[in-house]
Amino acid sequence: MSELWSESDAGVLRLPSGRLIRGRGLRHPLDPGRPQPSYAVHLLGRRPPEVPWDSAWIRWPDFRLPADPPAARDLLTGAWERAAGERVEIACGGGRGRTGTALACLAVLDGVPGEEAVAYVRRHYDRRAVETPWQRRYVRRFGEGRA
C-alpha cells in the first residue's frame, strides 16, 4: 500500500468518507518535490503520453462529456475504490471542467446526492469546477445511475 495524499497537497479533495483524491491540470507540470500518484485517470480527447505510474484514459473532449459513459462509470468507480488505499489522481488539460465533473461523480459514489455533488466539489476543490450545463446534468444523471 502506498502513502496517501496529504490534505494540504495542492488539488486534493477530501470526500465525506475521508478518501483523498487529487485533481490536476496536465498543462501544469508536476513540481519535482510534489508527490506522484500511484494511479491516475486521464480525461482527454486524445490518448495521453505515458506516465511512470499506473494510469487509465477516458476519451473525454474538452468542454464535453465522456465518449463512452458506461466505461467512464467503470473507471471512475475503480478510481474511487482504489482511493481507499492509494494516491489516486484525476486529471484533464486544465484541471477544472472534466476533472471537476469526474470528482463530482466520485463524490456521488461516496454518498453525496447527485444534485449536491457539483456544489460540494466547488466548495472543497475549485469554485470554478464543472464548467458547462451538460457537465452539471451528467453529474445529476450519474447520481441517478443514468450516466
* pLDDT at residue 144, rounded to an integer: 83
Residue 75 CB neighbours (<10 A): 20
27-55 pLDDT, tens per residue? Answer: 988 888 888 999 999 999 999 999 999 99
93-116 pLDDT, tens per residue? Answer: 999 999 999 999 999 999 999 999
Which fold, 12-143? Protein-Tyrosine Phosphatase; Chain A (3.90.190)
55-68 pLDDT, tens per residue? Answer: 999 999 999 999 99
DSSP H or E run through 122 = helix 114-124
Rounded distance, CA 39 to CA 53, Å? 6
Domain boundaries, the chain: 12-143
